[in-house]
Structure formats: structure tokens, C-alpha cells
Chains A and B, each alone.
Chain A
């Protein structure tokens, strides 16, 4: 049973989004996603300043057995990226909602509201 924090919202491509206030949103991958991927060995994350379009590929997450596309869950612009992932990609496995965060994005609150809530994500994660 994977962890799905109630306070976050989710995309159907298994990313979570956290409202930090002031139009800033933090993004990562869910516990379900990291379990599917296995031990992560590399994260290719968009550069600061990059414009993101919701639903399009913006990076790659590489594990021993798979190289999965990272999708932008929300349209916006990258403000920060988690540099710790360069040396420690395993943070994505160990703490996907905390120190394993991927990036902070400037976006519209309407876009955030369109994402699914924890209950809805639970349905697709367990499918």
C-alpha cells in the first residue's frame, strides 16, 4: 500500500504537486511511482527558467531496470530544482515527498485545482 498524503494533489502520470503559496508549487514523484521504478540511479531534471507544458515530457528518471519519462504535471516555469538529486538520486526512493522533491514551479492556482486529489489518485494508483 503506497503512501498518498492528503494535503497534496496528483497527476495521472504519478507526480505530486504541493501548494507552497504565492503561486509557487513543489513537484515530485509519488511513492507508487518510485516503487515501480526501483532503485533510482539518475534524475534528469529541467533547468531553472525552463517553461513547462502540462502533460509533456520534461525529464527522465533512470533506474537500474527502467528509464521513465518525467512529465510536467502542471503548466508553469521552473524556479528551483533539487540539486541534491545529482549525487543522491536514491532520495527519490527513500523520501519521495520530502527530501526527494524534484522542482519548484511558478504556476496558476486554477491549474493546481484541476489536479486530482488524494482519494482520486488512490483509485488509479491501486488499479
Chain B
């Protein structure tokens, strides 16, 4: 029987030691009326049969060249990353509550925290949250704890709608008011909000849902002048090239949050990913999630341990900063190894190549009849193209060419029917861009 090692003799010996005659007797405190015997589950498969079945299921998902982004990105993950991250000592380790037995995990988390602070330019990072979107919800709750819980949060209308949806769900439970900040329909970027009197914080996405770059200095300075905190929502790979939130405006953003998936995490249909959250040292006690600190033992040896746990659910219970009981340990381990493998140089080169591909594809498509680009401003590795056909039609047709052509904005209830959000990463070679152009061209010509 899978994963249960006992043979008949061992079972008998153990039952005897307990003083019962059967395994069923171990459940004699449970009313028999509650013990079920029919449960509609198929019988188990051998490992071999399981492998065949699931390999079939995996093959049923057509392989596609990926031109879709929208918060999840197809990047190259060096072979070394999961070779190490999937080692049993990382894979099957528990949360590091016994630090002496977890120095591997704890030092990885400390190095992760260090990488995130350097990427974001903020002083403190936690050890991660579930994903970028729920991380943003946590950042909003943090801003409210700092500024006063009666206040609202200013949410840009060009934030990724999947993230907005999570804010609605999580913040809505506590009746927190979200005030929408509109974007200029011509530029696709944020307008200065009108009224900020009751707000605690302004969320500033860099890049926004359209792949466009916002005027982060101006927005940060405006927010601070109004007495608001600035919550930066950023892409970790883009930070290799773009201004760090700690340098935004005169005083820098107050918090930076984002989706860490581009750092060594396979797409896997949507998760598990991880969210990163960094802030100013002055706000560290309001930071949700786990935090690792460096310290020493009685012999003066350097070691690492979880700290400020008194804020967390297992101690503070109902008054905790959050109900969070996890960090995405395995994903963060992979991300840390990924960032260490690439280094600043590798990250910068990768970001540069992603962006080069985006410019190249845009130029190729610009030459096609009926194709235009609604937004002219600066972008990073993602942009919106406006097609003379419904974008969903184009996307579905190009599947047959082995391409995931992008994300139709109408699926987000944004933009025009012909608007398609297209992303390019370093995985794409120039020949792949030509494949895309040719497929789209033949589709348009067939109309």
C-alpha cells in the first residue's frame, strides 16, 4: 500500500501494545453513525499507471509560444535553480520555528530579504506573502494601520484587474473604501487624483496594466504632499532597469509590493507564485508575514531566526497584523537561487533583451495594414496593439499556429474590442517574432 510501511506482524504488535484488537477499535470514541464506508473515489493507481495518465493530461495542453503577460511571465529558469530548490532538505523542510534545525532555510530567507531591499531601494523586506495581489491587499491594510483605519485607499483604474478583484474581496470584508483613480484615455497613464482628503495611501503601478510607465516621481510627490503613503506595485525584473521605489520622488515610496513569479517560478497555470513586500524601517512593526533576522548564539556564532513573531497569529491571535501563517518558502528559495545565479548583470541583460524584443515586435506589427497602437508612451516589455479584428478572434485563431498571442483587453472589460496586450520575454528569438508577424498577417489578409 502506498506510503504506509507497516506489515501484518508490526501492525499486530502495535495493536497489542495499545491494547486493542483491530484498527477499527482505535476509533471507538467516534459514534458509529458518523463512520462512513461508501465514499465515491476511484481506486488508486500504481506509480507507473499514474505517470502514464498524467503525462497524457500534460500533453493535452498544447505547447504554445508565449506572448502573454499581464502579471505572469514566461522566463528562462536556469537548470541549477530547481535542481537545488527541489533538494529534499529544502523541499520537505518545515517552517523554521526551531531555528537551530533550520539554518539553511533561514539564511536563504535572509538573503532573499536582502535581495528585495536592494531591488526596491527600501530598507526592510518580509519573507514573502502568497502572491502579488494578496500582497497588495496586505500593504493596504498596513497603510491603514499606520494612517488610521477609517481612511480609504486610492486605487488606479489601470491596475491589473485581477489584482483589483482581490482588493475588492479582501478589503471589502472589512468595509474598507476603495476610491478609483482614473487614467487619461489618450496616454493610458494616471491622472493626478482630484480629492485625497480621506485617503491613507495611493497605489502606483510601475508598470501599469497596459505595460506603460507611469510618472512615478510626480505621483509620489503629490501623494506625500497630501499626507498619503505611496504603495509602489512593481515587477522585480523591471527593477533591474527602472528606478527603484526607494528613489521615487523626493522622499521615495513608502512600501513596495509585487509579484515575484518572474524570478525563477514556472508559470504552472497560475501558481504557486509569491508576493514580495518591502517598507521603510520605521514601519517594520506593521509589516505582515514572517521576518528573519541575523543574531548570534551563546558561543558568538552567527545564526538566523524568525523575529517579531509577537505580531503574528500564533501569538497575537485575534489582534494579529494578519491571519497569515505561511510564506511561500519553496518559491522564495527558488527565487533567491535564481537571483543569485543571474546576479545584477544577468538580470539587467534579461530585462534589456525582454525590452528589445518588445520594440522589435512592435516595429514588425506596425507595418501591417489596419494595425495601430493606442498608447504612444514609454513601456517595458509589454504593450497594447489595436487590431482591425476582435482581439479574442485573433487570439483564438493564432492558437492554431502554436502561439498564445496575448491577452484581449475586453476579457478584462477594458479598452476596445481590437485591443490585445502583447508581451515579449528573452525566451523569444527573432525568428519567433517573424512567426507571430506572419501568422497575424495571413489572418488579416484572409479577412
Q: Determine, out of B104-112, B255-263, B308-316, the stretch whose residues face the partner at the interface.
A: B308-316
Which partner residue on chain A sits nearest B316 by CB separation?
A67
Q: Does B285 sit within 8 A of A, measured CB to CB?
A: yes
Q: Does A63 sit within 8 A of B, measured CB to CB?
A: yes
Give the interface residue-count category, chain B: under 10
Chain A residues 26-83 with CB under 8 Å of chain B are: 41-42, 44, 62-67
Distance in angstroms from A39 CB to nearest chain B CB is: 11
Judged by DSSP, the binding face of B is helix
Residues of chain B within 8 A of A67, CB atoms compared: 310-311, 315-316, 319
Residues 279-321 of chain B, each 1 if its beta carbon lies under 8 Å from chain A, else 0 = 0000001000000000000000000000011110001100100
Give the interface residue-count category, chain A: under 10
Q: How far is the CA of A62 from the CA of B315 in the complex (A)?
A: 11
Residues of chain B within 8 A of A44, CB atoms compared: 285
Chain B residues 125-149 with CB under 8 Å of chain A are: none
Distance in angstroms from A70 CB to nearest chain B CB is: 13
Q: How far is the CA of A65 from the CA of B307 in the complex (A)?
A: 10
Residues of chain A within 8 A of B285, CB atoms compared: 42, 44, 62
Judged by DSSP, the binding face of A is strand
Which partner residue on chain A sits nearest B320 by CB separation?
A67
Residues of chain A within 8 A of B309, CB atoms compared: 64-65
Which partner residue on chain A sits nearest B311 by CB separation?
A67
Q: How far is the CA of A42 from the CA of B284 in the complex (A)?
A: 12
Which partner residue on chain B sits nearest A61 by CB separation?
B310
Residues of chain B within 8 A of A65, CB atoms compared: 309-310, 315
Distance in angstroms from A91 CB to nearest chain B CB is: 18
Query: Most A CB atoms within 10 A — which of B309, B310, B311, B315?
Result: B310
Residues of chain B within 8 A of A66, CB atoms compared: 310, 315
Which partner residue on chain B sits nearest A44 by CB separation?
B285
Distance in angstroms from A26 CB to nearest chain B CB is: 26
Q: How far is the CA of A67 from the CA of B285 in the complex (A)?
A: 12
Q: How far is the CA of A29 from the CA of B2 in the complex (A)?
A: 57
Q: How far is the CA of A44 from the CA of B310 in the complex (A)?
A: 13
Q: How far is the CA of A41 from the CA of B308 in the complex (A)?
A: 9
Distance in angstroms from B246 CB to nearest chain A CB is: 24
Residues of chain A within 8 A of B311, CB atoms compared: 62, 67
Which partner residue on chain A sits nearest B312 by CB separation?
A67
Which partner residue on chain A sits nearest B319 by CB separation?
A67
Residues of chain B within 8 A of A42, CB atoms compared: 285
Distance in angstroms from B331 CB to nearest chain A CB is: 28
Which partner residue on chain A sits nearest B305 by CB separation?
A64
Residues of chain A within 8 A of B310, CB atoms compared: 62-67
Query: Most B CB atoms within 10 A — which of A44, A65, A67?
Result: A67
Which partner residue on chain B sits nearest A63 by CB separation?
B310
Q: How far is the CA of A67 from the CA of B316 in the complex (A)?
A: 7
Q: How far is the CA of A65 from the CA of B309 in the complex (A)?
A: 7
What 15 additional pairs, Cβ within 8 angstroms, besides A67-B315, A67-B319?
Answer: A41-B308, A42-B285, A44-B285, A62-B285, A62-B308, A62-B310, A62-B311, A63-B310, A64-B309, A65-B309, A65-B310, A66-B310, A67-B310, A67-B311, A67-B316
Give 3 nearest A-B pairs by CB, closest first: A67-B310, A62-B310, A67-B316
What are 20 A-B residue pairs whose CB atoms fall within 8 Å in the complex? A41-B308, A42-B285, A44-B285, A62-B285, A62-B308, A62-B310, A62-B311, A63-B310, A64-B309, A64-B310, A65-B309, A65-B310, A65-B315, A66-B310, A66-B315, A67-B310, A67-B311, A67-B315, A67-B316, A67-B319
